Structure 1
Amino acid sequence: MRKLRMKKLMSLLLALTMVLAFAACGTEETNKSPDEGSDLSYVKGNGKLIIGYTNYEPMNYTDENGVFTGFDTELATLTCEKLGLKPEFVEINWKTKEVELNAKSIDCIWNGLTIDDERKAAMEITKPYIKNAQVVLIKEGTTYNGTESLIGKTVVAEQGSAGENTINADDNLKQASFVPKTLQTDCLMELKSGTADAAVLDLTLAKSMTGEGTNYEDIIIVDYLAEEDYGVAFRKGSDICAEVNKIFDEFVSDGTIAALAEKYGLEQAE
C-alpha cells in the first residue's frame, strides 16, 4: 500500500515538474528581450552589414586601378565604422533588390537608390543625402526636340529603376519602344552601338561616364526629366535606419558628406 502511495506521489511530482517547466518556457518566450526582434541587434550579432550594390559609377564601382570605390562605397564604410560593423559589399540584381533584402541575403540597398512613395511603403529609407535627376541621353549628332522626338524610337533604361518609372510617366516616352536593361551601363553600350536611340538614366552616372576622356565621348545629355533624391533602404521597420540617420546628421555637421560629394562631382541633398 505504501509503495502504491509512493508511486502516485512520484507521478504527481513528475507531472508538476513538467507543468512548471512548460510554464517557464512560456514565460521565457513572453519575456524575450525586445532586442531579439531588432534588426540592429541582428547585424551586430553577425558583426557585419551586408550591403547590396550594382556597378554604378560614381556610387559603387571598380576604378582603373582595380580598386572598389565610389561615393556610396566610402560613405557606407565610414558609417559602418560608427556602427561598429564590418561592411560586406554584395553585387545584386537591381530587379530583385527588395526580394534579396527581405530574404536577408543583404541588410541594405546602398547604391544610389531613388526615394519614392512606393519604395517608402515597402522599405525603411533614410533621409536624402544626394540629389539626382533622370536625364535623356542620345548619340551626338542626333536630332532631339523634346521627348516627342522619341515617339516610336527605341529607348532604354535600367529595369526596375527610376528611369523606367520616368518613361512610364511621360506621355511621349510611353509611345516609344522601351527596352529594359539589367544595368545602366548596358544602356550606354546600346546607345554607343546604335541599337538604341536614347536612354533615360541617373544624372549622377551620366555625368561621370560620358563626355571627354570617357568611353562614351559621343554620348550627350539633352534633357532633364525628373529631380529626385537618393536614400539608403533597409527592411521595413528596421531600427538600423534611425541609427544611420543619426550618423548622417553627424556627417552633414562635420562636412564629411559635403567633402565626398565634391570628390565625386555630386550635389548634397538639402
Structure 2
Amino acid sequence: MSDQIAKGEEFEKQGDKKLKGWSFFGSKHEDAADLYEKAANFYKLGKSWDQAGAVYVKLAECFVKANSKHEAANAYADAGHCYKKTNSSECISRLEQSLDLFMEIGRLQMSARYCKEIAELYEQEQNLEKAMVYFDKAADLYQGEEVNSHANQCRLKIAQYAAELEQYPKAIEIYEDIARHALNNNLLKYGVRGHLLNAGICQLCKGDVVAITNALEKYEDMDPTFSGSREYRLLKDLAASVDEEDVEKYTDAIKEFDSITKLDAQKTTLLLRVKEMLKAKEMEEDDLT
C-alpha cells in the first residue's frame, strides 16, 4: 500500500508542477487533471482516503478552470465519496459542491441523488432537522423530474422524522397526501392503509379526540374500503380508549393488532407516547381524588 501511496504522491507533485508552469500546447489544466486523476487512483489503491479526497478536489478545480462543469461535478462527488470513509463534514461539503454544479448544468436527477445522499449522512449523525431539509430538496427535484417513487421515499422519510420530532401536522399532511395519490395507482394502492394508519397515529399523538374522529371520517371518504380494514378498527379502538382515558383498553387494542400484523419501530414509539400521555392523565385524576 505504501508503494501505491508513493506513486500517488509522485503524480500529484507532477500535477502541481504542471499547474505552476506554462503550457504552449493544449491546456495546463487538462494536463494537470490527467495527472491528478492518476494520483487519486493510486491513493485509493493505497486506501489513503484523505489524500484521495484532497486530490479529487484539485482535479475538480482543474475541470472548473477548463469550463468542464460536468467532469468537475463528478470529481467533487468522487472527493465526497473518499471523505465519506474518514470525514463526514468534508464529505457533505464536497457533495454539496457536486450537486450545485449538476443543478447549474441542468442535471437535476444527479442533484437529487446527492441531496438524498447528504440527507442520509445527516440521518446517520441523528441530525434529523438537517436530514429533513435535504430529503425535502431531493423530493422536490425528483418530483420535478417525475421520478415519483424516489420523491415519495424522501417524503416518507420527512414524515417519519417530523413525527419523531413531534411535528405531527407536517407528518400527517405528508402521509395523507401520499395515500391520496396512491389511490389512483394500481401498483401503490396496497400501501394506502399503512399511510393512513401512520397519519391516524400522528393524530392520536396530538391528543385531540375530535381531530382523530374527523380524520377517520375523512379517510373513509378517501378510501371506502378503509372502514373494513384492521388498520381502521385499530384507530377507532385507540381513539375510543383515548376518549375514555382507558390505558388497559388502549394496550389491548395494540396487542390484538400486533399479534397478527407486527407494528414497526416507528409506530411502536409513537403509540408508546400516547400511552404515556394517557397514564399521565390517569395519575393526575388519581391525585385529585
More strand as a share of residues:
1
TM-score (normalizing by structure 2): 0.26
TM-score for the superposition, normalised by structure 1: 0.27
Q: Which has the higher contact order (CA 8 A, sep 6+)?
A: 1
